Amino acid sequence: MTSRGTPETNATVASLVRINKWYGAYHALRDVDLQVASGERVVICGPSGSGKSTLVRTVNLLEPFQQGRLHVCGVDVGADKITRAARLAVNRRVGMVFQQFNLFPHMSVLQNLTVGPVWGRGVSRKEADELAMHYLQRVGLIDHVHKHPAQLSGGQQQRVAIARALCTRPQLVLFDEPTASLDPEMVSEVLQTMESLAREGMTMVVVTHEMGFARRVADRVLFMDQGQIIEAAPPGDFFERPRSPRLRSFLGQVLAHRDPHVDI
């Protein structure tokens, strides 16, 4: 194993070492190094096209990379060995919440939550049902268990998606702009669900434009631009004492408008 310069402790859930990714000729991720400790909440922000989504999607191997090394939840993957088996192994330990929810429209809420545990992890149906009911209770949607996704509001769908990710008992949950496609009225219910998750010590990596959420919840905030991590700091430092001129101008624009739905 060649994890140069980044000694791993037992408490490290995910470790990315000099990850490089190209879309064709476009250099989308450039020498990205990132460690996520168990129980840590990392928020990633940055302008659109800066590689935030690509980065979280690389962590669970939805996006392959051409150079570097990834170590996630005990699975070690080099750029030359991204196999289906590795992707499956990583995804059985990592949960993900998407911008577009991506619930399964032909299944009820309960089936959405149990299909992963039953067919992916070999959990018995009874146990999977109990797990699903537990997490539906948590996200406050126990009354909607037999509905189909189309019958739910956007905010409810995203809470179901969060419960679905939790049902796979993940060691790490990735959020890819979870509130970006919600109506303004529904953003807070999803953020509250995520905050309660954070309070219970779930390890989370969140891509978001919700600066308030980053301030309240994050242990560390990352700023990305042009495929690189430009600055990383605890939220206090990040927002009050930004060092790089690029982050200063970004925060200036974002905080001046304070409209979380302007995709900056």
Residue 243 CB, shortest distance to other proteins, in Å, is: 35
* 208-222: burial string, b at 16+ Cβ within 10 Å, e else: bbbbebbeebbebbb
Identified binder of other proteins from the candidate list 4, 81, 121, 125, rule CB under 8 A: 121
- Residue 216 has what DSSP assignment? H
CA atoms within 13 A on the CB side of 236: 0
Q: Is 103 in the site for other proteins (CB under 8 A)?
A: yes
Asked if 120 touches other proteins (CB under 8 A), the answer is yes
164 contributes a contact to other proteins by CB under 8 A: yes
Cα distances (angstroms) measured from residue 42 to each of 64, 104, 116, 179:
22, 28, 25, 16
Angle between helices 125-138 and 109-120 (to 10 degrees): 130
Task: State the alpha helices, DSSP H only, in 125-210.
Answer: 125-138, 154-167, 184-199
Tell me if 102 contacts other proteins by CB under 8 A: yes
Query: Contacting other proteins (CB under 8 A), which of 64, 74, 83, 119?
Result: 119
Residue of the chain from 131, 165, 172, 191 that contacts other proteins (CB under 8 A)? 165
100 binds other proteins (CB under 8 A): yes
Q: Which residues of 223-251 are buried (b: 16+ CB within 10 A; e: fewer)?
A: bbbebbbbbbbebeebbeebeeebbeebb
Site membership for other proteins, residue 94 (CB under 8 A): yes
167 binds other proteins (CB under 8 A): yes
170, 95 contact by CB (below 8 A): yes
**What part of residues 34-73 is at the interface with other proteins (CB under 8 A)?**
60, 62
Cβ atoms of 93 and 170 within 8 Å: the answer is yes
Task: State the minimum distance, in angstroms, from the CB of residue 253 to other proteins.
Answer: 30
Q: Does 96 bind other proteins (CB under 8 A)?
A: yes
- As measured in angstroms, the least distance from the Cβ of 92 to other proteins is 4
Among 11, 88, 262, 264, binds other proteins (CB under 8 A): 88
Residues that bind other proteins (CB under 8 A): 60, 62, 84, 87-88, 91-92, 94-96, 98, 100, 102-106, 115-117, 119-121, 164-165, 167-168
